[in-house]
């Protein structure tokens, strides 16, 4: 959706998503049923390593999609925000490396972790909102790199290269949340919640304001909107999503170390978002499933030594045939060509 | 690469997979091979794989009357990636034995993971962090290769007494394996009376060492360097280009065959450098020569097997010997396999190996010096052999444990 295209009804301002006849309700129900029934047919490995991991990485890419798709701000620091939450859980909760580990219960560590993550995200946003385009990417990349290197060098707080291990997921009503099915449903629940929240938020006054700011910041400012505050608040909200993902990530791995939040991980999130498509919140999850499947099984196809080549080629092919990622391919199948809000020169 | 089959299928149908794992006597035994094929340690992982495959070839890809299927997975050197790869091998591919990983901190992560799957045997590749087996060991994690502290046996004493070094500065990568190497070196060196006034720790994958080189003190007798793979090549090249002349002492991986085989102008500065390692290039024991011949059959083999090829060879061979001993029947929870592994003693290319009560190898270590090989390349010459080196370097275990884990600041003798 860009300012240059004739704008349909306000309620339709969300990019893509609603082809004619609006089958999205049916599609959503079908998808939800498939995801809910997956544990009936899939092994524990598929549920956790593919399913839960895709949902977690999808959440992270979703937080990027919120900023990039609706706000026009491409952030490479979402993994850093997740890292803030993850490290907070490790430090305040339990871990097995005998550094910190204050043993707070999960219902205390999780809200604190997510608050820290959201505030951290707002801070990163506040630093970077005055820049645009490639400068935002550079600033957030610098922050992500600095944060990961700092965690690697610092032993008093972050325990250096080793990081924290032995971080347990909580047990709820006698059910270990890290058990494959429970963890899958947990991730699915959180992802669904965030997905719906993003869909709703994009249609809200704030969401429309954010998209309008993306399309024409000067006009919005002239109309009396505080565009900077709008953007920083978007960072805060995206930070909540990334923080949730961070908590799930640290429960998933049972550990966190600088490698978890390194540059490779940051770029991985961007790749997921781009592969999936940034026009609709379902894109990041699609991208995550594809990327996780490739990363898990590429070694079987081309051997361990060359599997990164296959990942790279797949990425290139998807982006070459569809600059809008998998979502773009989908809408192409639908015979629709919509404009990518991120593509420069689309108006704005 | 045995793992090409089957996975086009896996990619497509993976959402609907839940195949049962029922073992028949004629079914292949699956062994996972976890090594590093990405990042700064890629060359090391590739050579590790050659070593493991040499052991497999020795057994004709069969042990205990059952064919052996090796499934390869890659990590980056970071603990997270090793954990993902190990999970995949164990939970998806259903391996009974996992050989790996390569790097120190990866070993700690895989050791922790091993506890979740007590039936599976985890046999270390070349990862050399001491704590993996010394502190809080896992019952089903075995290390038939020696580790970072053991590898330094003899070097500290030699540096003090025969090279006459009194003060040594230290440069290493900032993680568990170099900490172990530095501890192994310093225990002897400080005991002999030497001092270590400065230590420099750099992140894995550092490309530019100019600031570190500028900060290295000039009033020390030598610099002890513990960097691996691409890091070692980068530092050594830049150190020579910047005119560095201080004598070097090297960690086991720093002058390993993976580094000595690198192209470039490393040569002159490395000749005469003292090191200690579980392998030595000029070893002329028949077991070693046999191993070298078998290793050279592998595609892309280096001039001589590196310590990674050696460690993975030993790990894979231990796995296959244990499978032989069980006759292919591991028992319901792998108890036969574990019993066979725990009691296993065999002769490696570098001498006999046996396990201690923590399932950690006790074996011989070579004190070496870098010399020019007959073919014009570089190799390591044996100065002396320290026999039967254990994890505490002969110290009382309680006393050794009381010193604490190797870290940036431990030990210290400024």
Residue B268 at interface with chain A, using a CB cutoff of 8 Å: no
Chain A CA closest to residue B3:
A300
Residue B130 at interface with chain A, using a CB cutoff of 8 Å: no
Question: Residues of A with CB below 8 A from B112's CB?
Answer: 96, 165-166, 254-255
Residue A200 lies in a domain: yes
CA B319 to mean position of chain CA atoms: 16
Token duo for residue B106: 């990866």
Residues B328 and B250 in one domain: no
Q: What is the tens place of the pLDDT at every residue in A55-111?
A: 999 999 999 999 999 999 999 999 999 999 999 999 999 988 888 889 899 999 999
Question: Residues of B with CB below 8 A from A43's CB?
Answer: 17-19, 91-92
Q: How far apart are CA B16 and CA B171, in angstroms?
A: 51
Residues B155 and B213 in one domain: yes
% pLDDT > 70, chain A: 89
Number of folded domains that form chain B: 2
pTM of the model: 0.84
Q: How far apart are CA B33 and CA A191, in angstroms?
A: 34
Residues B265 and B386 in one domain: yes
Q: What is the tens place of the pLDDT at every residue in A222-278?
A: 999 999 999 999 999 999 999 999 999 999 999 999 989 999 899 999 999 999 999
Q: What is the tens place of the pLDDT at every residue in B365-384?
A: 999 999 988 888 889 999 99
Q: How many CB atoms lie within 10 A of CB B287?
A: 14
Phi, then psi, of A249 in degrees rounded to 5: -60, -40
Q: Tell me the torsion sign for CA atoms B293, B53, B181, B255.
A: positive
Q: What is the tens place of the pLDDT at every residue in B281-292?
A: 889 999 999 999
Asked if residue A292 has pLDDT above 70, the reply is yes
For residue A237, CA distances in Å to A117, A118, A130, A261 come to: 10, 7, 18, 20
Residue B122 lies in a domain: yes
Residues of A with CB under 8 A from a CB of B: 38, 41-46, 49-50, 96, 149, 152-153, 155, 160-163, 165-166, 253-255, 257, 259-260, 262, 264, 293-294, 296-297, 299-305, 307-308
Residue B410 lies in a domain: no
Q: What is the tens place of the pLDDT at every residue in B71-97?
A: 999 998 888 889 999 999 999 999 999
Question: Residues of B with CB below 8 A from A152's CB?
Answer: 174, 203
Residue A28 lies in a domain: no
Q: Which of B1, B14, B112 sits opposite A293 (nearest CB)?
A: B14
A257 to B78: CB separation less than 8 angstroms, yes or no: yes
Nearest Cα to A97, choosing from A246, A257, A238? A257
Residue A90 lies in a domain: yes
A45 to B6: CB separation less than 8 angstroms, yes or no: no
Residue B15 lies in a domain: yes
Contact residues for B191 (Cβ-Cβ < 8 A; gap 6+): B156, B157
B92 to A149: CB separation less than 8 angstroms, yes or no: no
CA distance B314 to chain A (A): 21
Question: Residues of B with CB below 8 A from A31's CB?
Answer: none
Residue B220 lies in a domain: yes
At residue B398, the pLDDT reads 92
Q: How many CB pairs under 8 A join A and B?
A: 124
Q: How far apart are CA A320 and CA B282, in angstroms?
A: 53
Least confident interval from A50-64, A193-207, B18-32: B18-32
Asked if residue A299 has pLDDT above 60, the reply is yes
Quickly list DSSP for A248-281: HHHHHHS-B-GGGGSHHHHHHHHHHHHHH-SSST
At residue A205, the pLDDT reads 94
Residues B209 and B75 in one domain: no
Greatest CA span in chain A, whole angstroms? 60
pLDDT tier, B24 (very low <50, low <70, confident <90, very high otherwise): low
Q: How far apart are CA B90 and CA B82, in angstroms?
A: 12
Residues B347 and B377 in one domain: no
| Strand-pair partners of B353 | B346
Contact B102, B35 (CB under 8 A): yes
Q: Which of B16, B92, B176 sits opposite A45 (nearest CB)?
A: B92
Residue A70 lies in a domain: yes
Residue A39 lies in a domain: no
Contact residues for A96 (Cβ-Cβ < 8 A; gap 6+): A165, A166, A167, B112
Higher pLDDT, B3 or B387: B387
Q: What is the tens place of the pLDDT at every residue in B40-76?
A: 888 899 999 999 999 999 999 999 899 999 999 999 8
Residue A162 belongs to domain spanning: 44-262
Which of B5, B15, B175 to mutate to test binding with chain A, by most A CBs within 10 Å of its CB? B15
Residue B32 belongs to domain spanning: 5-146+285-363
Contact A45, A51 (CB under 8 A): no
For residue A118, CA distances in Å to A79, A115, A239, B335 come to: 12, 5, 4, 49
Residue B38 at interface with chain A, using a CB cutoff of 8 Å: yes
How high does pLDDT run on average in chain A?
87
At residue A137, the pLDDT reads 94
CA distance B200 to chain A (A): 12
Residues B51 and B120 in one domain: yes
Token duo for residue B235: 């530092």
Residues B268 and B377 in one domain: yes
What SS3 state is found at A125?
helix
Q: How many CB atoms lie within 10 A of CB B411?
A: 18
Chain A CA closest to residue B17:
A42
Residue A51 lies in a domain: yes
A259 to B73: CB separation less than 8 angstroms, yes or no: no
At residue A318, the pLDDT reads 87
The C-alpha torsion from B278 through B281 and B286 to B287, rounded to 10°, is 40
- Find the CATH number of the domain harbouring B88: 3.40.50.2300
pLDDT tier, A331 (very low <50, low <70, confident <90, very high otherwise): confident
Residue B81 at interface with chain A, using a CB cutoff of 8 Å: yes
Residue B98 lies in a domain: yes
Count CA atoms within 13 Å of residue B40 on its CB side: 20
Residue A187 lies in a domain: yes
Q: Which of A49, A153, A300 sits opposite B6 (nearest CB)?
A: A300
Which of B6, B9, B92, B111 to mutate to test binding with chain A, by most A CBs within 10 Å of its CB? B92
B18 to A262: CB separation less than 8 angstroms, yes or no: no
Question: Residues of A with CB below 8 A from B84's CB?
Answer: 49, 296
The 3-state secondary structure of chain B, one letter per residue:
CCCCCCHHHHHHHHHHCCCCCCCCCCCCEEEEEEEECCHHHHHHHHHHHHHHHHHHHHCCCEECCEEEEEEEEEECCCHHHHHHHHHHHHHHCCCCEEECCCCHHHHHHHHHHHCCCCCCEEECCCCCCCHHHHCCCCCCEEECCCCHHHHCCCHHHHHHHCCCCCEEEEEEECCHHHHHHHHHHHHHHHHHCCECCCEEEECCCCCCCHHHHHHCCCCCCEEEEECCHHHHHHHHHHHHHCCCCCCEEECCCCCCHHHHCCCCCCHHHHCCCEEEECCCCCCCCHHHHHHHHHHHCCCCCCCCCCHHHHHHHHHHHHHHHHHHHHCCCCCCCCHHHHHHHHCCCEEECCEEEEECCCCEEEEEEEEEEEEECCCCCEEEEEEEEEEEECCCCCCCHHHHHHCCCCCCCCCCCC
Residues B376 and B355 in one domain: no
Element (H, E) at A240: helix A227-253
Residues B113 and B36 in one domain: yes
Token duo for residue A254: 């049972």
Q: How far apart are CA B136 and CA B133, in angstroms?
A: 7
Nearest Cα to B99, choosing from B127, B123, B68, B72? B123
Average the pLDDT over B103-107 and give the result: 89
At residue B388, the pLDDT reads 93
Sole residue written with tokens 């991986």: B253
Q: How far apart are CA B41 and CA B258, in angstroms?
A: 10
> In terms of C-beta density within 10 A (0-12 exposed, 13-18 middle, 19 or more buried), how is residue A258 classed?
buried
The C-alpha torsion from B158 through B162 and B163 to B165, rounded to 10°, is 80
Q: What is the tens place of the pLDDT at every residue in B163-198?
A: 999 999 999 998 889 999 999 999 999 999 999 999
Residue B335 lies in a domain: yes
Q: How many CB atoms lie within 10 A of CB B262?
A: 18
Nearest Cα to A79, choosing from A264, A294, A237? A264
pLDDT tier, A8 (very low <50, low <70, confident <90, very high otherwise): very low
Q: Which of A42, A257, A299 sits opposite B74 (nearest CB)?
A: A299
Angle between helices A227-253 and A205-215 (to 10 degrees): 110
Residue A95 lies in a domain: yes
Residues B194 and B72 in one domain: no
Which of A53, A162, A179 to mutate to test binding with chain B, by most B CBs within 10 Å of its CB? A162
The C-alpha torsion from B220 through B221 and B224 to B230, rounded to 10°, is 90
Q: How far apart are CA B320 and CA A307, in angstroms?
A: 27
Question: Residues of B with CB below 8 A from A95's CB?
Answer: none
Q: How far apart are CA B172 and CA B202, in angstroms?
A: 6
Q: Is the complex ipTM more than 0.90?
A: no
Number of folded domains that form chain A: 1
Asked if residue B16 has pLDDT above 50, the reply is no
A161 to B175: CB separation less than 8 angstroms, yes or no: yes
Q: How far apart are CA A70 and CA A75, in angstroms?
A: 12
Phi, then psi, of B156 in degrees rounded to 5: -60, -45
Residue B413 lies in a domain: no
Residues B34 and B158 in one domain: no
Element (H, E) at A233: helix A227-253
Question: Residues of A with CB below 8 A from B10's CB?
Answer: 297, 300
Q: How far apart are CA B147 and CA B151, in angstroms?
A: 6
Residue B414 lies in a domain: no
Q: How far apart are CA A332 and CA A322, in angstroms?
A: 9
pLDDT tier, A335 (very low <50, low <70, confident <90, very high otherwise): low
Going through A124-266 in order, the beta strands assigned E by DSSP cover 171-172, 175-176
Residues B76 and B53 in one domain: yes
């Amino acid at each position: 959706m860009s300012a240059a295209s004739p704008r349909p009804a306000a309620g339709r301002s969300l990019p893509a998503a609603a082809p004619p006849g609006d089958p999205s309700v049916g599609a959503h129900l079908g998808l939800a049923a498939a995801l809910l029934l997956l544990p009936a047919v899939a092994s524990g490995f598929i549920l956790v390593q593919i399913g839960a991991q895709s949902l977690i990485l999808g959440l992270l890419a979703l937080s990027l999609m919120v900023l990039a798709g609706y706000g026009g701000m491409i952030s490479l620091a979402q993994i850093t925000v997740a890292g803030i939450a993850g490290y907070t859980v490790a430090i305040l909760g339990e871990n097995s490396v005998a550094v910190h580990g204050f043993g707070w219960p999960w219902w205390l560590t999780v809200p604190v972790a997510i608050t820290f993550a959201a505030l951290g995200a707002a801070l990163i946003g506040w630093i970077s909102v005055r820049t645009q385009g490639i400068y935002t990417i550079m600033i957030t990349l610098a922050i992500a790199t600095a944060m990961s290197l700092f965690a690697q060098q610092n032993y008093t707080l972050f325990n250096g290269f080793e990081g924290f291990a032995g971080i347990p997921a909580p047990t709820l009503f006698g059910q270990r949340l890290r058990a494959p099915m429970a963890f899958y449903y947990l991730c699915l629940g959180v992802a669904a919640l965030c997905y719906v929240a993003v869909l709703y938020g994009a249609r809200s006054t704030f969401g429309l304001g954010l998209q309008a700011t993306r399309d024409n910041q000067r006009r919005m400012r002239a109309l009396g909107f505080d565009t900077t505050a709008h953007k920083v608040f978007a960072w805060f909200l995206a930070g909540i999503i990334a923080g949730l993902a961070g908590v799930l990530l640290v429960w998933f791995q049972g550990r966190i170390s600088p490698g978890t939040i390194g540059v490779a991980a940051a770029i991985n999130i961007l790749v997921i978002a781009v592969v999936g498509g940034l026009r609709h919140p379902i894109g990041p999850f699609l991208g995550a499933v594809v990327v996780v499947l490739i990363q898990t099984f590429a070694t079987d196809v081309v051997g361990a030594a060359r599997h990164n080549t296959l990942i790279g080629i797949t990425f290139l092919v998807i982006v070459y045939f569809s600059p809008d990622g998998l979502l773009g391919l989908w809408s192409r199948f639908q015979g629709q060509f919509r404009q990518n809000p991120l593509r420069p020169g689309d108006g704005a | 690469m045995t793992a090409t089959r089957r996975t086009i299928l896996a990619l497509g149908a993976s959402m609907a997979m839940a195949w049962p794992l029922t073992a028949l006597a004629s079914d292949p035994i699956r062994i996972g091979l976890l090594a590093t094929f990405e990042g700064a340690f890629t060359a090391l992982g590739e050579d590790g794989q050659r070593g493991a495959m040499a052991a497999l070839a020795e057994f004709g890809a069969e042990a205990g009357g059952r064919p052996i299927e090796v499934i390869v997975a890659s990590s980056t050197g970071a603990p997270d990636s090793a954990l993902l790869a190990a999970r995949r091998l164990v939970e998806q591919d259903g391996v009974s034995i996992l050989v790996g990983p390569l790097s120190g901190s990866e070993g700690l992560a895989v050791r922790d993971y091993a506890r979740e799957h007590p039936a599976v045997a985890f046999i270390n590749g070349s990862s050399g962090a001491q704590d993996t087996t010394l502190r809080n060991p896992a019952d089903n994690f075995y290390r038939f290769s020696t580790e970072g502290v053991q590898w330094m046996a003899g070097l500290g004493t030699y540096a003090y007494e025969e090279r006459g070094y009194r003060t040594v500065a230290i440069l290493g990568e900032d993680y568990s394996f170099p900490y172990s190497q530095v501890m192994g070196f310093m225990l002897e060196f400080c005991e002999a009376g030497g001092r270590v006034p400065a230590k420099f720790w750099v992140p894995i994958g550092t490309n530019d060492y100019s600031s570190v080189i500028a900060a290295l003190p000039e009033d020390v007798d030598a610099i002890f360097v513990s960097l691996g793979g691409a890091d070692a090549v980068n530092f050594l090249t830049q150190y020579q280009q910047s005119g560095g002349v201080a004598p070097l002492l090297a960690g086991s991986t720093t002058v390993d065959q993976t580094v000595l085989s690198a192209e470039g102008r490393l040569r002159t500065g490395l000749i005469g450098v003292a090191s200690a390692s579980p392998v030595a290039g000029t070893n002329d024991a028949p077991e070693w020569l046999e191993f070298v011949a078998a290793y050279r059959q592998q595609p892309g083999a280096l001039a001589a097997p590196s310590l990674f090829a050696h460690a993975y060879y030993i790990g894979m061979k231990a796995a296959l010997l244990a499978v032989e001993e069980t006759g292919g029947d591991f028992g319901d929870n792998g108890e036969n396999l574990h019993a066979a592994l725990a009691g296993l003693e065999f002769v490696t290319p570098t001498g006999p190996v046996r396990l201690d009560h923590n399932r950690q190898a006790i074996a011989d270590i070579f004190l070496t010096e870098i010399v020019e090989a007959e073919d014009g390349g570089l190799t390591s010459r044996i100065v002396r052999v320290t026999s039967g080196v254990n994890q505490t370097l002969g110290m009382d275990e309680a006393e050794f444990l009381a010193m604490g884990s190797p870290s940036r600041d431990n030990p210290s003798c400024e």
